[in-house]
Each structure stands twice: as C-alpha cells, then as structure tokens.
A and B are shown apart, each in its own frame.
Chain A
Amino acid sequence: MAAYDVKPNERVHPGKPVIVDRYTVGARINHWITAASLILLALSGLAMFHPSLFFLSGLFGGGQFTRFIHPWIGVLLFFSFLGLFLRFWKANLWRPEDGTWLARFRDVLSNHEDNVPEVGKYNAGQKLVFWSMSILIVILISSGIVIWQQYFAAYTTIGQQRVALLVHSIAAVAIIGVWIVHFYSAIWVRGTIPAMTRGRVTGGWAWRHHRKWLRELTAGKPDGRSGSNPAE
C-alpha cells in the first residue's frame, strides 16, 4: 500500500536528471479548466465589484453579458474544483510536520528550505491554499446562488440577499488573494510549472521541496527501506 499522498500512477524515471510524474493528464486538464474559470470569474466579478473596474466587462461583450455569464462560469468552476478536490483532498490532510514547516515559514520565504522538515506531496502552504480554496468556493457558490437574480431571486428575502452580497464580495476578495499566493508561489519556486503543464518535475525539484514524497515514491512503500526509518 502506498503512502497517503502517493498515487499509483506517480512513477520515478531514473536518468539525468531524474524525472518524477506528478500529475496525470486528467488532473492537469481538470486544473486548467478550474484555473481558466477562476480567472474569468475574477475578471467578470471585479467588473461588477468596483466602478473603476467596470471596463473589464468589455472583455465579455458588455455589462449584460458579464452579468449573465458570471454565475454560469461559477457553476463550471464549482464542479471543476469538485473534481480537483476529490483528486487531491487526501494528500492535503494535515500532518504533524506541517506545523513545524509553518513555524519555520521564515526559512521557507528566504529560500532556506534545508531548515524545514521534509514534506510529502504538499507542504503546509500548499495545503492551506487547497483548503482555503475549498472553503471559499463553497461559500461563493452558495452566496452566489442567493444573488443570482435571474433564477433564484424569488427563493430568498431581500435581507438574506444583502447578507449574501456582502459575504460573496468578501469571499471573492479572499479567493483572489489566495490565488495571488498560489500563482506567485508557482513562479517563485522554479520548476513547479512543468508539474501542471507536462505533468512531471525533476528529481532535484522533488528532492528539494517534497523530499518525503520522493522517498516514498522511490521506496515504493510508505515506511521506506529497512534501517532508513527512524521509527523502526
């Protein structure tokens, strides 16, 4: 049986450099549908959020179409992210080392990753992004339905809709903030983007950032080889 964060199709290909499979083609397509939806939602939502950004509605062919399409993209995002959630939730469960990793976040920021504990497929930062996205998307879809004038206005009171509007806008700001963290991390930590484009990373990348995961993959077993595990 594999470790909690190792998938059967993740393989290590020896060579120079070593290549490690990280995401299947299905996961990558799923991710990019979600990514495109989130960006389109942010652009169309910001157009309706702040007057100085109303010009963004031009990207969607005007205010009327922006108003029409925004909730439908939201539905797409919800189901698309649901797919990602089902794929990734298990590997994002909180582990003891995540607390330590987070406590030494200063070292992470200053590119001194040798001072932080070895982590599995995801580090604490990635896990926080994952769970924030999950929670915020649930908040956004539920408050979004309440303020979806065209189809759902009749089912709630105006008072409830006002609460939903405020919740929706705050959650939207929060999720764009989380997205900025996600997007920046992918650029800052070089070698990350091929994981989501070609589906693989180099062994060095895995060694540097997700050493526990790499060990589990090479060992083929969660407890590694005999003598290698301090718990033994």
Chain B
Amino acid sequence: MFPPLPNPSTTDTVPRFSDKDLIRRSASTVPAPEQQLTEVAKLIDVSKCIGCKACQTACIEWNDTHPEVGFNAGVYENPADLTPDMFTLMRYSEWDNPETNELEWLIRKDGCMHCADPGCLKACPAPGAIVQYSNGIVDFVHENCIGCGYCIKGCPFNIPRISKVDHTAYKCTLCSDRVAVGQGPACAKACPTQAIVFGTKDEMKKHADGRIKDLKSRGYSNAGLYDPPGVGGTHVMYVLHHADQPELYSGLPKEPKISPLVEAWKGVTKYAGLTILGVAAGVGLLHHLVMGPNRVSETDEEHAEELTEGDNDGRV
C-alpha cells in the first residue's frame, strides 16, 4: 500500500511552482529556472484497476467540465473517446491470451502522458500556449491558444482535443493546480484500489518495482513499467502485466516518439524555409543594384510606331 495523499490544509498555501519554473514554453524561450523541482509522476497500475470510472468522475468534478450526457454504444467506454470535456477515459479491451487460453479484460486509463519531450509543445505555433514545468507537468494555457490543432498532430498519444465552444485545446493538466498546493491529481485521490498513485517520479518507479515483482510472482512474466524513452520518459507511467505488448491496452504505442514528419516540419523546414525566402529577396535586390532596371528605350517605341503604321511588315 502506498501512503495516501494528505488532505488539503485549511490555511492558504503558497503555490509550489509557478512561471519561474518553466523549462519549455511553446514558440518562445524561457530563461533557465533557478531551481530544479523534483519530478513528479502518476503511476497507473492497470492490474489493480477495476474499471469503476471514479477517476473519470473525479476529473470531471475537479476540472468542472460538463460533458454531454452519453449514450450506450454497446461498449463500456463512455464517452467513446477523449473530448474537450473529458480529459481522461477508461478504455476497455478484451484479449484472448493464447498462452493461457483465457480471456483477459485489459483496462487502461487513457490521458496525457506528460512527456519529458512533449510533441504537442514542439508543434505549437502560439507563444506560451503550452508550457512545461521542471517538475514534468505539461500544461495548456488557454488564453494563449489559437485553436489550430497542431498539438494534436504533434502528440504521439493522440490526446489533445479542440473545443468547439472556445476553440482552444484541452487535455489532462495532471491537476497542476492541485499539485501546486501539495495535493495529488483528483483521479488518484478518487481511485478506490490505488490503481492510480501519485508522488515523485523516483517514488513511483520504486513503487512500480514492487508491483512488477508481485505480478511476476503471480505468473505475469512480462510485467513491466511503461515509461517510454522515445519521448524522454513520461510523467504518467503504467504498470502493465504485458509490458512486452503495450498495444494490447487499446493501442498504447509500443515505441512512441515525436513523428519524424513533425520534427522535419518544426526543424529543418522552418529554418530552411525562411532562409530560402530571405536569399530570394536578397538576390532580387542585388540583381537590381548590379543590373539596374530593364527600361523601354526610345528606339523600342519608334519600332512599335513603325509597326503599327502598317507601311511595312514590321521587320526592322
């Protein structure tokens, strides 16, 4: 059992992190922070999840979103996908384990992974619309968001959603507002089985080790931690009983990384593009300085006059 998060104090608390702790800010630069905060992480142990959706409910309540009343599409997922009002979603998949010939119900709480190398932030064109704190939290700043949807293309996990109401992007904040005052995320607080726990990233890795040992002792020889290095590690991690096949869990990517297309677009294209245009304009200017304008001469006009008078065939 992981020690539960303390209840909030009733007195005012000074926020534990602020804009001074930003390590990345979309489409802009930030000065290096004076201090490095301890990295935090949320650990989701899918083997302990009972699929109750308390986390979804707590998320809606804390973030005060108002998702539409859903409908039963014949499956447990509700809503059918992440939405601008639903930052986290229980995804259910049924898997016939060929080794044991048993049906396994694999439930995964989907949501932002808070990548150390966030693709959304890399893709974002609006200064300060996406920020990353030195504790690992990646947050969207709605007043700076322009609603272009580039974050969706940048994200290796297909997480951000654009609101049709205010045309800005939404996703899990890791409850940055709660974490700032010493609380854990609402979903972790609500989880009845401690399938979701929150703490420092080191604590979470250590806790995961214990869980993985336990799972291995129960016959899940491939149990492991999902902390994908392709995105520099994440600040939301999973304990999976089948860590060798993360795709089983409703398509959790095996080796997520920022798409090379996004890297090319935000890398070489951006710089080479402006350089080419600058050079083109410069060559034009230079040409004009060196060669001068191409002017019509008096002779040209005379030739035209002769041609139009029609007294000859125009060949002069």
Contacts and interface: CB of A to CB of B under 8 A. Distances in A.
A188 B146 CA distance: 39
Contacts of B265: 162, 165-166, 169
Interface string A169-182: 11011001100110
A207 B303 contact: yes
A147 interface: yes
B185 interface: no
Contacts of B293: 187-190
A163 B273 contact: no
B131 to A, nearest CB: 14
Contact of B270 (A12, A49, A150): A49
B280 interface: yes
Interface string B62-84: 00000000000000000000000
Interface string A37-64: 0000000000111110010010000111
A96 to B, nearest CB: 20
Interface in B277-316: 277, 280-281, 284, 287-288, 291-298, 300-305, 307-310, 313-315
B259 A218 contact: no
B313 A225 contact: yes
A158 interface: yes
Size class of the contact patch on chain A? 35 or more
Interface stretch (A24-32, A80-88, A129-137, A198-206): A198-206
B147 interface: yes
A113 interface: yes
Contact of A14 (B153, B264, B305): B305
Nearest to B154: A162
A149 B262 CA distance: 16
Nearest to A62: B146
B103 interface: no
A215 B126 contact: no
Q: Is the interface of B mostly helix, strand, loop or mixed?
A: helix
Contacts of A187: 288, 293
A158 B314 contact: no
Contact of B307 (A54, A57, A215): A215
A165 B313 contact: no
B87 to A, nearest CB: 18
Contacts, number: 178
B149 interface: yes
Contact of B280 (A63, A109, A180): A180
Contacts of A57: 146
Contacts of B301: 16-18, 202-204, 207
Contact of A64 (B146, B281, B314): B146
A96 B249 CA distance: 63
B281 A153 contact: no
A8 interface: no
A54 B126 contact: yes
B280 A181 contact: yes
A100 interface: no
Contacts of A51: 27-28, 125, 127
Contacts of A66: 146
Contacts of A165: 150, 153, 261-262, 265
B285 to A, nearest CB: 8
Contact of B273 (A18, A68, A173, A181): A173
Contacts of A12: 308
Given A48-B150, A169-B273, 8 more contacts: A51-B28, A51-B125, A68-B147, A113-B294, A165-B153, A188-B294, A208-B300, A224-B314
19 contacts: A16-B305, A17-B301, A54-B127, A109-B287, A158-B152, A165-B153, A177-B277, A188-B294, A189-B293, A190-B295, A190-B296, A191-B295, A202-B296, A203-B307, A204-B296, A204-B298, A205-B296, A218-B310, A224-B313
